[in-house]
Amino acid sequence: MEGERGRGFRNQRTYETMVGAGEEAAFHSRYERALERFAQSLEGRNVHESIIDGRAVATGRYVTDTSPIDTELVIGEFSVGGKREASSALAAARRAFQTWSVMDLDKRLAIFRKAAEIMHGELFELAAAITFDNGKNRYEAVAEVDEAIDFISYYTEAMGLRNGFQEAMPPAFPGERPAVAMRPYGVWAVLCPFNFPISISTGMLTAAIITGNTAVLKPSTPAPLAVHMLYDVYERAGVPPGVINLLSGSGAVAGEALVSSEKVDGIAFTGSKEVGYRLLASALRRHPIPVIAEMGGKNPAIVTEKADLARAVAGVAASAFGYSGQKCSACSRAFVHELVHDEFVGALLKHLARLPMGDPRERATFMGPVIHRKAVEAYGGYVAMAAKDGIVHVGGEVAKGGSARGFYAPPAVVTGLPEGHPLLKNELFLPILCVQRFTDLKDAVRRANDTDYGLTAGIYSRERDEVRFFFENIEAGVCYANRARGATTGAMVGSQPFGGWKGSGSTGVGSGTALYLMQFMRQQSRTLVD
């Protein structure tokens, strides 16, 4: 069985691979056929229940999920769980833990390989569902499913190569045979975000259960469908009942009932800093429990006078406005040297004017909707604040695909805000980029660090000493230099660990690495005397 381990991880990169093979037309046709099939599936009533111990649990209470593309597109009705369902799910996970945690490693890893195969075979169906449910364009949606597959494949390989993180140790005394084993904690609550409902959810869930834990998985309210589809993938791959339990419902009710329970041994969370801090504060119970929280960012890009401006414009635009700025790694601040500031802003506005905005189902669309009405309202408030205290530049026109019922907000570029302004400090999670001038790189880095967050950051400079200074002094967990594909976004599993410093992350360890897996286990020293 050893040969099954460590077969060589490779990132999926579906779009790039198909284009390179001359199959771009096939990429679009497969995605568009999946869109058609998904649209047809919406014609009936789609009810999605919570799933506990392998069985659907009807609560009789439902919330209707509609598409941000067009609110008349009903994705489905999702059950609303509460304390009773949370307690039942945790109890089922506890029972399943007894056998799952001691399952033979090779048998367990075979299940995950099967899950990756299933997900790969249904990649376009999953991507189409994401587009409908949270508004991503086809390129972002397919890339997200790619990342989910990458998480499963990479973590499977990491567990196999390291024999489940067990190793013999050198003896201190004759006759002793010491060893170290990493052992699972027990039952984890896994709280999923709306913006990456399949990839981040897969990353957190897979890390929890591949290391021998069991889990209760809670989807986000705005975009729950992909998490239900993820559960289905793992069920068909052979994960036994109770290892994963799915609890639908609001964060205030279902989520709170789950994370506040004494039956929870660990919490994995992706979401706001405010919620993450509350979870961290609650971690000291009868026994302290681990909380692995990724809590967003206020991510800066620095453009020096020695930058390749074309590359900087492309990278900043991609990171600031890709998926409507609704990524925790989105570039929300750009510090531009005064000698190139006006040229950069002018080029950025021209670049944005060429990027189509509108219905993400259309092939050419770069930026689709924001997630819900509250986001549109927040956007309006922020832009009004920016217009009052600075200058607002809006690039491009919003196309709504013939529908005025979706939640669309155009990209906003803001200049001239005073230091300390709320828009420069707070995570907005919207397509708003604040551009500030600087004259000295040290001062730019200092100002970039002057925030509670520390997730991602980027720099554009042809001068190696400037890049070196940036890497050594920026307070962020994920850093890039001169990246045209994204100033602050686009970390790849197995290549760029994704995790934040300061208020952006609770552990300082990034996902997509073997170290990330170790957080879901605790160390046990075992010494046998002959």
Catalytic residue among 294, 305, 427, 466: 294
Sign of CA dihedral 30, 36, 40, 42: positive
- Dist CA 413 CA 308 (whole Å): 20
Phi, psi of 78 (to 5 degrees): -115, 135
Catalytic residue among 192, 328, 331, 434: 328
Could you tell me if 512 and 497 are in contact, meaning their C-beta atoms sit under 8 angstroms apart?
yes
**pLDDT tens per residue, range 114-165:** 999 999 999 999 999 999 999 999 999 999 999 999 999 999 999 999 999 9
Nearest to 489 by CA among 8, 147, 131, 201: 147
How far is residue 165's CA from residue 515's CA, in Å, rounded to a whole number?
10
Task: Give the Cα-Cα-Cα angle 252, 477, 470 (nearest 5 degrees).
Answer: 140
Alpha carbons within 13 angstroms on the beta-carbon side of residue 332 total 28
Q: Which residue is associated with the tokens 């920026």?
A: 474
Q: What is the pLDDT of residues 299-332, one digit of tens each?
A: 999 999 999 999 999 999 999 999 999 999 999 9
The model's pLDDT over 47-85, given as tens digits with 9 standing for 90+, comes to 999 999 999 999 889 999 999 999 999 999 999 999 999
Which DSSP string corresponds to 258-289? HHT-TT--EEEEES-HHHHHHHHHT-BSSSB-
Question: What pLDDT does residue 7 have?
Answer: 57
- Predicted local confidence at residue 395, as pLDDT: 53
Q: Are 521 and 182 in contact (CB under 8 A)?
A: yes
Tell me the one-letter amino acid at 281: A
431/321 Cα distance (integer angstroms): 5
Neighbouring residues of 209: CB distance < 8 A, sequence distance ≥ 6:
100, 215, 239, 243, 244
Query: 506 — phi, psi (to 5°)?
Result: -95, -15
What local confidence, expressed as pLDDT, does residue 6 receive?
Answer: 44
Q: Say if residue 517 is exposed, middle or buried (CB neighbours under 10 Å; 0-12, 13-18, 19+).
A: buried
Q: What is the DSSP annotation of 122-173? A: THHHHHHHHHHHH---HHHHHHHHHHHHHHHHHHHHHHHHTTTTEEE---SS
List domains and CATH numbers for the chain.
Answer: 10-41+48-295+507-521 (3.40.605.10), 299-494 (3.40.309.10)
Q: Give catalytic status of residue 294 as yes or no.
A: yes
* 478's tokens: 């994920």
Q: Which residues partner with 449 through β-bridges?
A: none
Q: How many CA atoms lie within 13 A of 378 on its CB side?
A: 15
State CA 225 to chain mean position distance: 15
Residues 6+ apart with CB under 8 A from 399: 356, 357, 358, 359, 365
pLDDT at 404: 61
Q: How far is CA 350 from the centre of its chain?
A: 30
Question: Which residues, other chains included, contact 353 with Cβ-Cβ below 8 Å and sequence gap of 6+?
Answer: 395, 396
* Token pair belonging to 328: 């925790």
What is the per-residue pLDDT for 337?
98
d(CA 128, CA 32) in angstroms, rounded, equals 8
Amino acid identity at 29:
S
Phi then psi for residue 261, to 5 deg, are: -75, 140
Q: For the chain, list residues with pLDDT below 70.
A: 1-7, 395-404
- The whole-angstrom separation of Cα 123 and Cα 133 is 15
Q: Is the dihedral of CA 433, 331, 199, 29 positive or negative?
A: positive
Q: How far is residue 410 from each of residues 183, 282, 366, 373, measured CA to CA in Å? A: 49, 39, 11, 14
Q: Which amino acid is at 194?
A: F
Give, as one character, the DSSP assignment of residue 291: E
CA angle in degrees (0–180, nearest 5) for 284-285-288: 55
CA-angle at 341, arms to 324 and 389, nearest 5°: 65
Burial class of 407 by CB neighbour count within 10 A (0 to 12, 13 to 18, 19+)? buried
Length of the chain: 530
Phi, psi of 120 (to 5 degrees): -65, -40
3-state secondary structure 26-82: HHHHHHHHHHHHHHHHCCCCCEECEEECCEEECCCCEEEEECCCCCCCEEEEEECCC
DSSP code per residue over 418-467? PTT-HHHHS---SSEEEEEEES-HHHHHHHHH-SSEESEEEEE-S-HHHH
Query: H/E/C letters for each residue in 89-117?
Result: HHHHHHHHHHHHCCCCHHHHHHHHHHHHH
The neighbour count for residue 59, using CB atoms within 10 Å, is 16
Specify the pLDDT at position 405.
Answer: 84
Distance CA 452, CA 23 (A): 45
Task: Look up 4 and say whether it is catalytic.
Answer: no
Tell me if 248 sits within 8 A of 217, measured CB to CB: no
